[in-house]
């Protein structure tokens, strides 16, 4: 192929991810022309949707449908997604033949004063739009109050600096790093504010697909899929195959309160997962390992069904 058209959301993080994809493609195929088309999704338009609730706000494809329609219509060749935004099931005719190398999968606590999660004051208010994060935080610290906190990364940080509504917010480490923020120290600087920064990797289990960039294409488009094979990171693909298989078994919705942590040790996949049921109840946990991603996911699913 001489020209490839990438589709993406127009948020700063989405544009950073499509730039990573463009650079990877040009490194593998220096003579190729790589163009970018931007889209505004329903999730970008409907800022009044409450993503902490099931139903309309947490519906499937909230941030992906417009890109997938463009793929099926032939307007773009590849849709570049944050994998954690994707439902477990691809629309008929579409596939994810490639992913970029995974970034750190942890979450970060960004606070006004407290240096760590355990030092948040009694009754602290934490902002997030993730059901998974909200349920894990309330389980670990029932005293903490969760409020809906939406917008792109820069918007959330600006709101944290300007508003007195919350004491802290939670953001993905991968997104912060891709936008150029330094997550290695105790502070995060943004505009006129300096926040306290600490890792939640030892507290929260990450989302399915967190830290991975998915390259989605028409399943039977052999020329495009051959190009994508040239930038695919196989270790990451094996890990997210297991996570997405579990997601499908759990109904396929990317808004369910489930966390998964997967790594490849030699040829063996090692996976652990956490699933919340009714509010106030402790989560169910399961671990499994093996060489087949779908079989590992099936064992995890069975483990999560046990009392």
Rg (CA), the chain: 19
Q: In this structure, how many other beta carbons lie within 10 angstroms of the beta carbon of residue 31?
A: 6
Cβ atoms of residues 57 and 49 within 8 Å: yes
Percentage of the residues of the chain whose pLDDT score is greater than 70 = 92
Q: Does residue 85 carry a catalytic annotation?
A: yes
> Is the confidence at residue 153, as pLDDT, over 60?
yes
Query: Each residue of 117-144: pLDDT tens digit?
Result: 999 999 999 999 999 999 999 999 999 9
Residue 180's domain spans which residues?
Answer: 107-199
Of the residues 199, 227, 248, the one at which a domain ends: 199
Q: In this structure, how many other beta carbons lie within 10 angstroms of the beta carbon of residue 22?
A: 18
Of the residues 147, 176, 199, the one at which a domain ends: 199
Rounded alpha-carbon distances, angstroms, from residue 271 to 26, 38, 67, 274: 33, 35, 30, 10
Mean pLDDT of 21-45: 92
Rounded alpha-carbon distances, angstroms, from residue 283 to 243, 273, 286, 293: 18, 10, 10, 23
Shared domain for 56 and 144, answered yes or no, is: no
Shared domain for 43 and 29, answered yes or no, is: yes
Shared domain for 216 and 257, answered yes or no, is: yes
Total domains in the chain come to 2
- Indicate the pLDDT class of residue 45, thresholds 50, 70 and 90: low
Shared domain for 32 and 72, answered yes or no, is: yes
Shared domain for 111 and 87, answered yes or no, is: no
Q: Which residue has the tokens 């998915």?
A: 214
Average pLDDT of the chain to the nearest whole number = 92
> Is the confidence at residue 62, as pLDDT, over 80?
no
Helix (H, G, I), strand (E, B) or coil at 202: coil
Shared domain for 235 and 170, answered yes or no, is: no
Shared domain for 296 and 217, answered yes or no, is: yes
Cβ atoms of residues 9 and 62 within 8 Å: no
Of the residues 199, 232, 258, the one at which a domain ends: 199
Q: What confidence score (pLDDT) does residue 123 get?
A: 96
Shared domain for 192 and 267, answered yes or no, is: no
> Is the confidence at residue 23, as pLDDT, over 90?
yes
Rounded alpha-carbon distances, angstroms, from residue 259 to 73, 106, 183, 293: 34, 11, 22, 16
**CA–CA dist 76, 16 (Å, integer):** 18
Q: Active-site residue among 77, 85, 107, 167?
A: 85
- Indicate the pLDDT class of residue 85, thresholds 50, 70 and 90: confident
Shared domain for 137 and 192, answered yes or no, is: yes
* CATH number reported for the structural domain that contains residue 290 in this entry: 3.40.190.10
Shared domain for 215 and 185, answered yes or no, is: no
Tokens of 201: 């990797």
Query: Each residue of 194-209: pLDDT tens digit?
Result: 999 999 999 999 999 9
- Indicate the pLDDT class of residue 57, thresholds 50, 70 and 90: very low
> Is the confidence at residue 43, as pLDDT, over 80?
no
- Indicate the pLDDT class of residue 49, thresholds 50, 70 and 90: low
Tokens of 58: 């947490």
Q: What confidence score (pLDDT) does residue 14 get?
A: 96
Beta strands in the chain (DSSP E): 3-9, 33-39, 78-82, 94-99, 107-111, 125-128, 145-148, 168-172, 187-190, 193-199, 213-218, 258-265, 268-275, 284-290
Q: What confidence score (pLDDT) does residue 279 get?
A: 80
Give the total residue count for the chain: 307
Residue 23 neighbours by CB under 8 Å, 6+ apart: none
Q: What confidence score (pLDDT) does residue 209 get?
A: 96
Q: What confidence score (pLDDT) does residue 281 get?
A: 85
Shared domain for 126 and 264, answered yes or no, is: no
Shared domain for 31 and 89, answered yes or no, is: yes
């Amino acid at each position: 192929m001489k020209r490839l058209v990438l589709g993406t959301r127009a948020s700063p993080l989405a544009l950073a991810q499509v730039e990573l994809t463009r650079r990877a493609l040009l490194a593998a195929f220096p003579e190729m022309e790589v163009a970018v088309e931007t889209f505004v999704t329903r999730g970008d338009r409907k800022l009044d949707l409450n993503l902490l609730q099931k139903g309309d706000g947490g519906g499937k494809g909230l941030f992906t449908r417009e890109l997938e329609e463009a793929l099926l219509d032939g307007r773009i060749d590849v849709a570049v997604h944050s994998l954690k935004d994707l439902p477990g099931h691809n629309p008929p005719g579409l596939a994810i033949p490639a992913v970029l190398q995974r970034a750190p999968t942890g979450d970060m606590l960004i606070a006004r004063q407290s240096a760590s999660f355990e030092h948040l004051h009694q009754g602290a208010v934490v902002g997030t739009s993730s059901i998974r994060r909200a349920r894990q935080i309330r389980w670990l610290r029932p005293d903490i109050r969760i409020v809906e906190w939406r917008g792109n990364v820069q918007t959330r940080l600006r709101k944290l600096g300007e508003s007195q509504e919350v004491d802290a917010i939670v953001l993905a480490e991968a997104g912060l790093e891709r936008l150029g923020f330094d997550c290695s120290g105790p502070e995060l600087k943004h505009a006129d504010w300096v926040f306290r920064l600490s890792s939640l990797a030892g507290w929260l289990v990450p989302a399915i697909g967190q830290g991975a960039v998915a390259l989605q294409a028409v399943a039977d488009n052999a020329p495009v899929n051959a190009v994508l094979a040239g930038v695919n990171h196989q270790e990451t693909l094996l890990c997210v195959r297991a996570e997405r298989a579990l997601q499908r078994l759990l109904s396929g919705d990317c808004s369910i309160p489930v966390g998964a942590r997967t790594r490849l040790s030699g040829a063996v996949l090692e996976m652990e997962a956490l699933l919340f049921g009714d509010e106030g109840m402790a989560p169910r946990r399961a671990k499994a390992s093996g060489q087949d991603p779908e079989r590992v996911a099936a064992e995890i699913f069975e483990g999560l069904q046990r009392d």
